[in-house]
């Protein structure tokens, strides 16, 4: 029955685990180690067999391929690709400073560091980063709500600062349009701000008691925001009314005492109402919020990827494998990549059980 559940499933083994999977094109991703010493940064090409829409049997290449690589002197806990360029910005999770990288061109396979930017805060916490689709490149960054700023990479000039009193740590930063962004805090508070104005941001308080909370926003035209608590409570709001709840549910998660940054919640970019969760169990779970109501209810996952924990069962009493991150493919509706603490990276295309 496993083969009925997956249209495709490819497995790759990294030397060290990653908590970064960042798209650099529709066919390539960046991964990077997060151990305390020197770490590899790699750009991987997805298996050609996965990308072949037709005549898959004639496609011999079924493995990931390293196309560019380099080394970072410290951990890489956050990495953002600058759209339309071969540049990336990273943070080590130890300070709010940023590192700038050239991902390499066709004539070289080397990823090299090109510079750095001072952080926005003296706090010993890593920055969240969001890249703006603009020329010259600009990034939004900061470890906490009171220290978020928009910086022009070429000059280091500060273009905007989020003026709030709260010093709550951020769970995510995300542009929801060319000029507006969401700053989501670990306590569940969400700020919606516009970089064109100095007006105070729209603030929405946390929707419940069980912090920390993780947040993601879907693109137009849906413009939905989902907030997920450590207890598995999911609340969906409209971006135009962040204080209200369109629907809510209690998810089927088994909470593990992991670091907050190990949890990922993400809307599917090409499946309306679907989102995914990892980090609260050894699974990547996919839920469909389409049938949810305003009053809370229990929700079961539409699909679960248990491949990392299954493939790592050696029976030697070693520590259980946990998911470090996952991402949806930007265009392929049911294709995801996931990474785990054993260094495994999976790319999988799941079959909707409701239509199978």
pLDDT at 242: 92
326 φ, ψ (degrees, to nearest 5): -155, 155
Q: How confident is the model at residue 39 (pLDDT cuts 50, 70, 90)?
A: very high
Residue 324 and residue 16: Cα distance in Å, rounded? Answer: 12
- State the Cα angle at 217 between 215 and 220, rounded to 5°: 175
- Residue 35: both structure tokens together: 């151990």
Q: What is the pLDDT of residues 172-187, one digit of tens each?
A: 999 999 999 999 999 9
Lowest mean pLDDT among 182-186, 219-223, 291-295: 219-223
Please state the domain extents for the chain.
Answer: 18-205, 214-355
Q: Is 181 helix (H, G, I), strand (E, B) or coil?
A: strand
What pTM does this model have?
Answer: 0.92
18-205 and 214-355, same CATH topology: yes
pLDDT at 62: 65
pLDDT at 58: 45
Domain 214-355 superfamily per CATH:
YVTN repeat-like/Quinoprotein amine dehydrogenase (2.130.10.10)
Give me the mean pLDDT over the 215-240 stretch.
91
Q: What is the pLDDT of residues 333-351, one digit of tens each?
A: 999 999 999 999 999 999 9
Cα distances from 326 to residues 1, 257, 344, in angstroms, run: 24, 19, 12
Give me the mean pLDDT over the 215-243 stretch.
91
| E strand segments, 77-168 | 78-81, 87-91, 98-102, 112-117, 128-132, 138-142, 149-152, 158-161
Residue whose C-alpha is closest to residue 338's, from 350, 324, 317, 355? 324
CATH of 18-205, one of 2.130.10.10, 3.40.50.2000, 2.60.40.10, 2.40.30.10: 2.130.10.10
C-beta separation of 262 from 214 below 8 A: no
Q: What is the pLDDT of residues 310-329, one digit of tens each?
A: 765 555 556 788 899 999 99
Q: Is 267 helix (H, G, I), strand (E, B) or coil?
A: strand
Is pLDDT above 80 for 218? yes
pLDDT at 321: 86
Give me the mean pLDDT over the 211-233 stretch.
90
Is pLDDT above 50 for 1? no
Q: How confident is the model at residue 59 (pLDDT cuts 50, 70, 90)?
A: very low
Q: What share of the chain is helix, strand, coil (3-state, %, to 5)?
A: 5, 45, 50
45 φ, ψ (degrees, to nearest 5): -95, 135
């Amino acid at each position: 029955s496993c083969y009925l559940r997956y249209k495709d499933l490819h497995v790759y083994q990294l030397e060290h685990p990653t908590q970064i999977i960042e798209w650099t094109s529709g066919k390539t991703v960046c991964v990077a180690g997060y151990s305390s010493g020197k770490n590899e940064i790699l750009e991987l090409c997805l298996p050609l067999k996965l990308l072949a829409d037709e005549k898959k049997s004639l496609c011999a290449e079924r493995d990931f391929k390293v196309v560019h690589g380099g080394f970072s002197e410290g951990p890489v806990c956050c990495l953002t690709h600058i759209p339309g360029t071969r540049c990336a910005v990273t943070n080590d999770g130890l300070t709010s400073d940023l590192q700038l990288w050239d991902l390499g061109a066709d004539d070289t396979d080397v990823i090299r560091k090109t510079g750095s930017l001072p952080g926005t805060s003296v706090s010993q916490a890593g920055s969240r980063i969001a890249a703006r689709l603009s020329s010259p490149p600009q990034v939004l960054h900061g470890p906490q709500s009171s220290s978020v700023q928009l910086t022009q990479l070429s000059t280091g000039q500060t273009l905007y600062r989020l003026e709030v009193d709260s010093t709550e740590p951020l769970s995510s930063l995300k542009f929801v349009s060319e000029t507006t962004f969401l700053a989501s805090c670990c306590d569940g508070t969400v700020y919606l701000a516009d970089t064109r104005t100095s007006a105070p941001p729209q603030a929405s308080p946390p929707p419940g008691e069980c912090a920390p909370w993780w947040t993601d926003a879907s693109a137009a035209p849906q413009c939905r925001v989902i907030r997920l608590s450590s207890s598995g409570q999911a609340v969906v709001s409209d971006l135009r009314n962040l204080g209200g709840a369109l629907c809510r549910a209690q998810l089927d998660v088994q909470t593990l005492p992991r670091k907050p940054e190990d949890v990922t919640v993400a809307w599917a970019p090409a499946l309306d109402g679907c989102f995914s969760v990892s980090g609260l169990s050894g699974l990547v779970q996919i839920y469909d919020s389409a049938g949810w109501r305003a009053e809370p209810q229990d929700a079961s996952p539409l699909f679960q990827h248990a491949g990392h924990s299954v493939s790592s069962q050696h029976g030697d009493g070693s520590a259980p494998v946990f998911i470090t991150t996952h991402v949806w493919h930007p265009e392929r509706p049911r294709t995801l990549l996931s990474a785990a603490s054993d260094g495994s990276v999976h790319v999988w295309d799941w079959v909707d059980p409701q239509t199978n």
